[in-house]
Amino acid sequence: MKKVLVLCTGNSCRSILGEALINKYLDGVKAYSAGTNPAGKVNENAKKVLMAENAWNDSYYSKNLDEVIDENFDLVVTVCDSAKESCPIFPKLVKTIHIGFEDPDGKDYIEFEKLVEEMKEEFLPKIKKFI
């Protein structure tokens, strides 16, 4: 099983969406998410859109990178520019890529739906290619 970390700043929207979509749609891959400065909660619209996608899991929560940094990841994906800039050095050599998305936080639910579709069309194929 390949392990992927989806990293952003707040770990409340984009990285949680990425984690859930990878776990739902990519066989043989286990995704995790974390934030460089976690919000401490999952955005309600992110949770709602994942529930509509039948991809929500109650184990998803906003967490600090320290909680997962010792995992043996095969790939780290930054999904926001800030996380890309502050992406830490991992204890073990790991491939890191950036696939940026606009932050939907504070926007209408429809923007979360659009982001999920964009991630399914662009993000998932790129992840599959790199693992």
Catalytic residue among 80, 115, 116, 119: 80
13 belongs to the catalytic site: no
With vertex at residue 33, the alpha carbon angle to CA 29 and CA 35, rounded to the nearest 5 degrees, is: 160
**Alpha-carbon radius of gyration of the chain:** 13
Catalytic residue selected from 4, 5, 8, 20 = 8
- Name 131's Cβ contacts closer than 8 Å, sequence gap at least 6: 2, 4, 29, 74, 75
CB proximity list for 10: less than 8 A, separation 6 or greater: 35, 37, 38, 39, 62, 105
> Which residue in 39, 68, 69, 87 is the catalytic one?
87
Active site residues per annotation: 8, 80, 87
